[in-house]
Amino acid sequence: MFTRMILFGLTNFAILAVITVVWQVLGLDQIMYANGVNADIVRILPIALAFGMGGSIISLLLSKKMALMSTRAKVIEKPSNQVEQWLLQTVELQAKQAGIGMPDVAIYNGREMNAFATGASRNNALVAVSAGLLNNMNHDEVEAVLAHEVSHIANGDMITLSLIQGVLNTFVIIFSRVIGRALDNMLFRRDGQGGGHGVGYFAMTILAEVLLGFLAHMIVMAFSRYREFRADAGGAALSSPQKMANALRRLQMQQQANNPVQLPEELHAFGIFGRGGVGRWFMSHPPLEERIAALENYGSVRR
């Protein structure tokens, strides 16, 4: 996790450096300086980093506890029946194959067929399955779902998704205020003086934050869809392509029955079965038919 944080931090500053060079080449830095925007960036940057990256990192560190609380999932500490014993043994075997520490395994009381993985690191994670999944899937299908979630952990998807969200949050905070200040000065304070903030600044900042927030969300969802294909491929490697495809077909039957996703909002992106969005760009998961087709052509998606 620490290495990923360093890489994302360096990426963050590299992007800022590239933008600075482009602004200088295009002469935009002089326009910003004349309108007092450069001074705003200096003041905003530490706050943006604290709120943008800090919020995502705190959410990541608390993800297991919050997931257990929101779903009321029960961690299996001592198996009380054969199903729980089999779940622990299956996840333990898959974790060893994937080269990660044994995650906590939990069951939550949900009617839908779903499962999710979360946690702050590859060796401190949680895999949870719904009672509906255990009741409606056979062992091979459940095994594939567990393999899919273990692959998410092995790929570091929770960490990467949180850090991407943090980087994007930082840029949304910075650029919404830069845009707000520039538009406020150009439209409402045509004297070019940089002192103070007008009413236009707050209105333009809110508008820019909403628009940039939508763009940031689209980027996060694009990565979320990509990682689902990778986790499906990893699940196929840990179980088999046929088992993974059959599990997705079972989820497809649930989708065709128009059963709603019952996972809490903050866990939708981490479930094997996610809610659709307003158009493809806002979907956390690719369409199931595309995931099944990718598995049928498994050789092309194998890592």
Task: List pLDDT tens digits, range 121-158.
Answer: 999 999 999 999 999 999 999 999 999 999 999 999 98
Residue 216, Cβ neighbours under 10 Å: how many?
19
Give mean pLDDT, residues 88-105: 97
Give me the pLDDT at residue 298, please. Answer: 67
Indicate if the alpha-carbon torsion angle 288, 249, 107, 92 is positive or negative.
negative
Give mean pLDDT, residues 233-238: 95
pLDDT at 191 over 70: no
Q: Pick the catalytic residue from 149, 228, 290, 296.
A: 149
* C-alpha pair distances (Å), 211 with each of 20, 122, 172, 179, 284: 22, 34, 9, 11, 19
Q: How far apart are CA 295 and CA 229, in angstroms?
A: 9
Among candidates 45, 28, 36, 41, which has minimal Cα distance to 195? 36
Give me the pLDDT at residue 182, please. Answer: 75
Give mean pLDDT, residues 258-282: 62
Give me the pLDDT at residue 1, please. Answer: 47
Give me the pLDDT at residue 200, please. Answer: 72
Residue 39 near residue 194 (C-beta atoms within 8 A): yes
Residue 233 near residue 292 (C-beta atoms within 8 A): no
* Start-to-end C-alpha separation, the chain: 21
Give mean pLDDT, residues 64-71: 91
Identify each DSSP E strand in 44-176 by its residue range: 74-75, 104-108, 115-121, 124-130
Q: How far apart are CA 145 and CA 64, in angstroms?
A: 19
Residue 88 near residue 96 (C-beta atoms within 8 A): no
Give me the pLDDT at residue 30, please. Answer: 52
pLDDT at 183 over 80: no
Q: Which two tokens stand for residue 102?
A: 């044994």
Over the chain, what is the mean pLDDT? 80
Give me the pLDDT at residue 52, please. Answer: 78
pTM: 0.78
Whether 149 is catalytic is yes
